[in-house]
Amino acid sequence: MATNTMNKSEIKVIGVLERVGGFASAQELYQLLQRGGESIGLTTVYRALQSLVSDKIVDQLRREDGEAIYRLCGDNHHHHLVCKQCGSTVEIEGSAIERWTKSIAEEHGFREVGHTAEIFGICPKC
Partner DNA sequence: TTGAAAATGAAAATCATTTTCATTTTCTGC
Partner DNA sequence: GCAGAAAATGAAAATGATTTTCATTTTCAA
Q: Which residues bind a copy of itself (CB under 8 A)?
A: 60-62, 64, 66-68, 81, 83-84, 90, 92, 96-97, 100-101, 104-105, 108-124
Indicate which of DNA, a copy of itself, none lies near residue 73 (CB less than 5 to 8 Å, by partner kind): none
Question: Residues 44, 26: contact at Cβ < 8 Å?
Answer: no
Burial grade of 118 (CB within 10 A; 0-12, 13-18, 19 or more): exposed
Identity of the residue numbered 30:
Y
4 binds DNA (CB under 7 A): no
Cα dihedral sign for 97, 68, 29, 111? positive
Site residues for DNA, window 46-85 (CB under 7 A)? 46-48, 50, 66-68
- Choose between 66 and 109: whose C-beta lies nearer to DNA: 66
8 binds DNA (CB under 7 A): yes
- Among 21, 36, 43, 99, interactor with DNA by CB under 7 A: 43
Binding-residue pattern over the window 17 to 36 for DNA, x denoting contact by CB under 7 A:
--------xxx---------
Q: How far apart are CA 114 and CA 98, in angstroms?
A: 9
- Choose between 38 and 115: whose C-beta lies nearer to a copy of itself: 115
Q: In what order do the strands lie in the sheet with 58-62?
A: 24-25, 68-72, 58-62
